[in-house]
A = this chain, B = another copy of it.
Amino acid sequence: MSSTASSHTAATSPTPAKPAQKRVRRTAEEARRLILDAAEKRLATQGPEGIRLQDIARDVGISHPAILHHFESREGLVKALIARTNTQLREKLLAALSNADDPAQDPIESVFEALSDRGTARLLAWLLLTGRVTDTDRSPQMLMTEIADQLHAYREENASQNGAPAPDREDTFFLAMLTTSVAFGDAIIGRYLAEEAGLDEAGVKRFRNWFGKLLRQHVERTDTPAGDDEGK
């Protein structure tokens, strides 16, 4: 097929096949959003190698050069994806913490929930594995410090209400670090372990509750004057 090299340059040719193709034209912002969504989904389901311009283009329903038009290169797409995910993660986590005053909402559990989202954890894992984290503006570790600070304020208030001495700052940081590591690890490997061990959805939930209780016991033990543990 296609032997004549100049097929479309000769516009004056009598070929009536000009099909007047209908072409969808989105705003740049919208197009970028759709592309990033597709890339994120590919990454979550197929891993690092799942980000291929042609596949993503097919998912969105465009041609792959359109992607290159919006993001300079494949690398540009990846960076944009990282930036967006960072922002989303940040917003989710801070939102989760913002209603820490609400006694019905356990802040630790909220953090866990937000971080253990499948796509986010996988993206995070990938960018940590490939060492691509350094050059983003709002990297996760800043977030960590922020979270630790908020948690610490929460604990200090609690302790002062109970008449206990202020908790150690490092203890709070370790708490945050543990929660982050667990949530992350759980999202990547825990889900798999649970599945193989015959643990169903309810089992996973029980695990989370168990973990939350473990942390709560630690906090209560630390932030109350005596070894005064309330049963549940």
Contacts and interface: CB of A to CB of B under 8 A. Distances in A.
Given A145-B197, A180-B185, A170 B206 contact: yes
Copies of this chain held together in the complex: 2
Interface in A157-212: 170-171, 173-174, 177-178, 180-186, 188-190, 192-197, 206-207, 210-211
Interface stretch (A25-33, A61-69, A84-92, A128-136): A128-136
A174 B186 CA distance: 11
- Which 3 pairs of residues, A with B, have the shortest CB-CB distance? A185-B185, A141-B196, A181-B185
Contacts of A190: 177, 180-181
Given A214-B218, A217-B218, 8 more contacts: A122-B129, A141-B192, A141-B193, A144-B193, A181-B182, A182-B182, A184-B189, A188-B188
A227 to B, nearest CB: 6
Interface size on A, as a range, is: 35 or more
A158 B131 CA distance: 44
Nearest to A176: B193
A229 B183 CA distance: 28
A137 interface: no
B130 A207 contact: no
Given A207-B174, A207-B177, A188 B145 contact: no
A139 to B, nearest CB: 8
A108 interface: no
B128 A192 contact: yes
